[in-house]
Structure 1
């Protein structure tokens, strides 16, 4: 008799599943978001604020980057102009008229910052000193404020036409005198001093913020000797 087939029950062994902690599963998306935000912040800082270490000239250039010109001084003064007009008959003078005008004039003194490049700056790391050489100052066209002018006329009979002619001559004369006065050596010296102080302040603070410590900024114009 054939041996009876012995059957053995098959036992299935299953590995117990390891469930990840709920906090870890929920924290993964937030971790990704934080990493992305950190990356964006770093890229933004790198693009707009980062300066290579040891490049104070680059830090100084940032102070001028968004400015094409800088008004450093404003001069307001009084200009006196006087014109005369002589009426003639057959070449013979018969009447003379005169008009004097006292008028306020304003002139701005500007620095052309578009000319500022690295060649105009040098850095002494040991002395923590930045040397800056500025281009010449530019003066604006005088603003003649005729609304505030005082007029004085002389003559037995001054016609409207004559008065307007005298006024036109005085305005042109006032413009020429204002331009000449604006370039007076004493006034230009005041404007240059104001420009140096403005540039010194505009560069010292950014360098300190950039981590260069207590720095010295020496400013001079083209043609001036460097301080010894």
Structure 2
């Protein structure tokens, strides 16, 4: 009897279960949140405030890497051309005609970026300034908008051949005059100013994104003096 009682008492012993403290259980989600916030803060600092020592010239060249040519200026103007034609029989001039034309023309000014090697860039770390030397502008062949031209023809009788010759001569003359006008010092000055501004914008923003801050970009063409200071 005594042994049976002992056995029952032993069987009725409660099972002990260890429970995690409530404070520790509640702290786990907060720890995860804190770690996530720390990771986000580090990534933000890395993206916007961290400045890794690098190569500003390399960053500038990278901005031009995929551009072989950059159109920086376009000029549209009108040129006047005038031609005369004489037709005769047996050496006697019988038919005289004259044609004047006002023809719109467009010329583009481009930079050849394929020649922009490292020698054309100079970085001044103390002044946070990037000096850029550009090659001469390339001027496109004039594009004559002959569909919009104004034509004035004089002559009692203008044959078809005479009309064709007058128009062809006027087109050749207009192209020569447009090419000469495109090299006008005032027009070239405007094109160079536009080129310098375009290069500044193309370089300043990528350098800021690369972490170099508000970099001053000085641009000049071959043969122009280096800015003082």
Q: TM-score, normalised by structure 2?
A: 0.76
What is the aligned partner in structure 2 of residue 135 from structure 1?
A: 135
What is the aligned partner in structure 2 of residue 68 from structure 1?
A: 68
Give the Cα separation in 1 of the matches to 2:157 and 2:214.
71
Provide the secondary structure at the position in 2 that maps to 1:75: strand
Kept in 1, the 8 Å contact 2:95–2:158? The answer is: no
What is the aligned partner in structure 1 of residue 126 from structure 2?
A: 126
Give the Cα separation in 1 of the matches to 2:93 and 2:131.
65
**1:75-134: per-residue Cα shift (whole Å, max 9, x none)?**
000011010011233333233100011111001100000000100000000000000000
What is the aligned partner in structure 1 of residue 198 from structure 2?
A: 198
Identify unmatched segments of 5+ residues in structure 2: 1-50
CA 1:58/1:52 → structure 2, altered by over 3 Å: closer, same or farther? farther
Give the Cα separation in 2 of the matches to 1:140 and 1:180.
12
> Would you say how many aligned residue pairs link Structure 1 and Structure 2?
178
Which 4+ runs in 1 deviate beyond 2 A? Answer: 51-54, 88-95
What is the aligned partner in structure 2 of residue 99 from structure 1?
A: 99
Identify unmatched segments of 5+ residues in structure 1: 1-50
Q: Tell me the C-alpha RMSD between the 2 structures.
A: 1.3
Give the helix-richer structure, 1 or 2. 2
